[in-house]
Amino acid sequence: MRDWKTAALALNSGIPEEALDGIGKPLDALEAAFEPLKKLIHPEDEPALQFVLDHHREGGE
């Protein structure tokens, strides 16, 4: 579990302290569900993101 209040201060987030009370619990729960999934990743696994250059467009001069 992370210390969200310290993290918020370090980020200079400007999030009021009372608002931080409401975000720690759901983030902790999400982190608990998400962290173990990282073990599935192998070095060759690429993210499901795309950056595709249109081959019809000419580059350069």
User: What residues line the site for other proteins (CB under 8 A)?
Assistant: 2, 4, 7-8, 11, 13-15, 19-20, 22-23, 26-27, 30, 33-34, 37-38, 40-41, 45-50
Question: What tokens appear for 7 in the block?
Answer: 């993290």
Q: Least distance from C-beta 33 to other proteins, angstroms?
A: 4
- Residue 1's contacts (CB-CB under 8 Å, 6 or more residues apart) are 28, 31
Q: Which residue has the tokens 């998400």?
A: 34
Q: How far apart are CA 20 and CA 47, in angstroms?
A: 30
Closest approach of Cβ 60 to other proteins, in Å? 22
In angstroms, give the least distance from the CB of 34 to other proteins.
Answer: 5
